[in-house]
Amino acid sequence: MVPVGCCPPRQLLFWGGIKLIKDILEPSIDQESKSFWDGLKNEQLLIQYCDDCQNYIFYPRSICPHCFSEKIRWRNSQGAGKIYSYTVVHQAFGPFKQEVPFVVGIVELDEGVRMMTRIIGKREDIAIDKRVTVVFEKVDDPIVLPYFRLV
C-alpha cells in the first residue's frame, strides 16, 4: 500500500518561491516588531513588560493582552527557561527542506512567556522540561534568530 502524502497544501502556498529565511521575515518586520529583531542582532533577547499588571508579554504588541494597558516597555530577558514541548521535523519546506532532521520547540522563559524556537543539542538529550539557554544564531545576513541550547 502506498499511503497518500500528508503534505499540507498550505505549505506549498506559503513556501512557493521562498528560498531564504530573510525573504519571509523582511516583508513582515514592522514598527511593532523591529525592536525585537534588532535586539537579536546585538545579542539581546528583548521581551515586553506591562507596568500596570506586571506581566511579561511575548510576542510584541502595542497593547497588553492581559489588561489592555498601553504602558508597555521593553526588557532584556535573561534568556533562560525550559522546554515546554518539541518535535523532530523530518519533512520540511522552502528554505528548511535540506536541513531535516531538526528540532523545533516551544520554550517557556523564566519570565513566564513562551516562544517558538529551535532546540540545539543531541537528539537523545532533548526532553520536555530540560533547562535551556538562548543562543543568537545568524541564519542569513542580517537575520539573527534566538535558538536555545541545552544547559
Partner 1 sequence: MKSERVAAIVGVAESDLGKTPGKNVLQLQAQAAKLALEDAGLTKNEVDALFTAGNWAWAPSLMLAEYLGIQPKYTDSTNIGGSSFEAHVGHAVAGINAGLFEVALITYGSTSRTNPGRSAFPSALTAQYELPYGLPTPVGAYALAAMRHMHQYGTTSEQLAEIAVATRKWATLNEKAYMREPIEIADVLNSRLIAEPLHLLDCCLVTDGGGAVVVVSKRVASRLNKKLIWILGHGESHSHNTIANMPDLTMTSARESGRAAFEMAGITHDEIDIAEIYDSFTITVLLTLEALGFCKPGEGGAFVSGQRTAPGGDFPMNTNGGGLSYCHPGMYGIFLLIEAVRQLRGEGGKRQVENAKLALVHGTGGVLSSTSTVILGRD
Query: Where does this chain bind partner 1 (CB under 8 A)?
Result: 1, 3-14, 16-18, 21, 23-25, 27-29, 33, 58-59, 84-96, 99, 102, 104-106, 114-118, 127-129, 139, 143, 145
Is the CB of residue 104 less than 8 Å from the CB of residue 86? yes
Task: Give me 96's grid cell.
Answer: 528548511
Residue 7 has which C-alpha cell? 503534505
Taking CB under 5 A as the binding criterion, the range among 41-49, 62-70, 76-84, 126-134 that sits at the site for Zn ion is 62-70
With H, G, I as helix, E, B as strand and everything else as coil, classify residue 139.
strand
Tell me which of Zn ion, partner 1, none is bound by residue 135, counting a contact when its beta carbon lies within the kind-specific cut-off of 5 to 8 angstroms: none
A 10 A CB-CB count for 137 gives 16
Out of 45, 50, 103, 132, which residue is the one contacting Zn ion (CB under 5 A)? 50
CB atoms within 10 A of CB 38: 14
Residues lying near Zn ion in the complex (CB under 5 A) are found at: 50, 52-53, 64, 66-67, 69
